Amino acid sequence: MTIEVTLGDEADAVAAVRDKLVAEGVPAALAAGDPALWGPQAQPEAAIRLGWLGLPNTSRELLPEIAKLVERARAAGLDHVVLAGMGGSSLAPEVICATEDVPLTVLDTTDPHQVRRALADRLDRTVVVVASKSGGTVETDSHRRVYEQAFRDAGIDPAERIVVVTDPGSPLERAANEAGYPVVLADPNVGGRYSALTAFGLVPSALAGADVAKLLDDAAAVAPLLAQDEGNPGLDLGALLGAQALRGRDKLILRDAMSDITGLPDWIEQLIAESTGKEGKGVLPVVGAEAAEADDQFLVSIGPDSGTTVDGPLGAQFLVWEYATAVAGRVLGINPFDQPNVAESKENTTRILEEAGDGPLPTGTPMLTDGPVEVYGDVPGDLKNLADVLTWLLRSIPERGYLAIMAYLDREAAFDAAVVGEASFEEMTETWAGADVATLRALLDYRTDHAVTFGWGPRFLHSTGQYHKGGPSAGVFLQVTGAVTDDIEVPGKPYTLGRLQLAQALGDLGALTSRGRPAVRLHLTDRVAGVRHLLSVAEEL
């Protein structure tokens, strides 16, 4: 089997959209790479963003080069693979390696505690993949600088430990060549979120031990179906996404069913949210929910299940979801290849850092303090405590709206708490930081029929961040930041990782509040006590 899309009860609603796409010749045109499919305004961008269609074949040319990198790493005894990358440069390798159960340390954060843990882990056996399409991603540039310094301090030549993946002609390519780092160039005609089967997905995954040739084989097996009018899983799935959004069902609940794939919804979330969330339109993926609870939601399961499902091997899933997203973009009348609002938060971050200089960042004054949690934002004056704030946020969600929780904390620390998700609330609070702050999503989701999403910052800025600012004006936002106790200097830059992380949080919050969207920042003056208190309050609502 290559891949199968089963529409379940949604088949009739999708049929009209699917038939219209077939009548317009979309399957054959898309398979042939026609950039005119999304209208004249999108055509220039689409013309340089359709290389993903041919990756099952063109990426095979990379396999010998990748094999040499793997052989070199193995010969040097480098068995700890660290990936420094954001968004499309990290999400696909994370899914690939989790699915094949091979270890990969992903750094898609500016949290100094998370980065310090990675630095302390087998540095003498570490190879770092620095991956950035533009070559100027601030998080990835910071990781590179930090690891270069760490290697030098340990008496290790960084040129023996750092591998660079980037687009031809990027600043990172030039810097890597000057430093003597091996460079693998990706296809410049593929956008970041469509890059799973490019060098961005294949290089770190292969170094970690994944069978990347099989990924390409599985994608190649499904590729011929994508030119067909019938039996085309990408067309069926794309018609489903578009048809549901047109009906007002624009919250896609993604559920992991009994599948051999691990973590695919996180990758799908970025692909769909960043591709469709613009011009006040879009489909919002929701990861972690188990069912569609409201009439603006619909459920798709990954793997064999009842209802609407997408089942098949990972390489085929990558290609089919990309195709479906492009089809949904046409149905919605938007350009699925640009991300017009992503730069806004980046620009805000840069401005905040420059204006603050060596002084404190403009955090403002807390509206109230509840134990180890400070509350910032334009909230009603009669709110007295954290419970009041959370209740007000839930009540502020508009009809057909959603709540987005955005945590600028250490997303890996909670994995030390093996019981998270399987223990009682009391048992969870005995683990690191009183359990994982991501548990907050489930606690608040239980108290509303509206969709509740969770994102780790700044990771989500390269994903759902586009939807939050460019999609429907229906979001309510809860941001969580935390005190930094063990910061890291960024060599050659006038900021630390902790300072950069807070500036990113403030910059994105400004982008949201400038649109008049309800947004609150909770700052944990003590991360352990703060998470414990936050979850305790949420559980008692």
How does the average pLDDT of the chain come out, rounded?
93
- DSSP assignment of 228-255 equals -SSS-HHHHHHHHHHHHHHTT--EEEEE
The residue out of 210, 229, 256 marking a domain boundary is 210
**Residue 259 resides in a domain:** no
pLDDT at 417: 35
Angle at 247 between CA 243 and CA 252, to 5 degrees: 70
The residue out of 210, 237, 268 marking a domain boundary is 210
pLDDT at 3: 74
**Residue 285 resides in a domain:** no
pLDDT at 51: 98
**Residue 287 resides in a domain:** no
- DSSP assignment of 90-124 equals THHHHHHHHHHT---EEE----HHHHHHHHTS-GG
Domain that holds residue 492: 342-540
Strand order in the sheet with 475-482: 368-370, 373-377, 519-524, 475-482, 402-408, 451-456
**Residue 299 resides in a domain:** no
Token look-up 């294949």 returns 202
Whether residue 526 contacts residue 485, with contact meaning beta carbons closer than 8 Å, is answered with: no
Among 26, 17, 8, residue whose Cα is nearest residue 228: 26
For the chain, the maximum distance between any two Cα atoms, rounded to a whole number of angstroms, is 65
Please write down the HEC assignment for all residues of 441-476.
HHHHHCCCCCEEEEEECCHHHHCHHHHHHHCCCCEE
**Strands (E) located in 219-343:** 251-256, 284-287, 297-302, 309-311
**Residue 232 resides in a domain:** no
The residue out of 210, 227, 249 marking a domain boundary is 210
**Residue 535 resides in a domain:** yes
Whether residue 4 contacts residue 312, with contact meaning beta carbons closer than 8 Å, is answered with: yes
- DSSP assignment of 483-509 equals --SS--B-TTSSSBHHHHHHHHHHHHH
Whether residue 383 contacts residue 392, with contact meaning beta carbons closer than 8 Å, is answered with: yes
> With 0-12 CB in 10 A as exposed, 13-18 as middle and 19+ as buried, what is 371?
middle
CA distance 482 to 480: 7
**Residue 491 resides in a domain:** yes
Q: Which helix (H) or strand (E) holds 185?
A: strand 183-185
Among 199, 209, 222, residue whose Cα is nearest residue 61: 199
Number of Cβ within 10 Å of residue 103's Cβ equals 11
Written as six digits, the tokens of 538 are 């949420």
Number of Cβ within 10 Å of residue 231's Cβ equals 9
Non-local (6+) Cβ contacts of 351 within 8 A are: 507
Residues of the chain with pLDDT under 70: 1-2, 414-435
pLDDT at 323: 98
Positive or negative, the CA dihedral 411, 412, 414, 418 is positive
Which CATH number belongs to the domain containing residue 404 in this structure? 3.40.50.10490
Number of Cβ within 10 Å of residue 291's Cβ equals 9
**Residue 8 resides in a domain:** no
Same domain membership, residue 348 and residue 202: no
Q: What are phi and psi of 402, to 5 degrees?
A: -155, 160
Number of Cβ within 10 Å of residue 431's Cβ equals 18
Total number of domains constituting the chain: 2
pLDDT at 257: 86
Number of Cβ within 10 Å of residue 224's Cβ equals 11
pLDDT at 413: 75
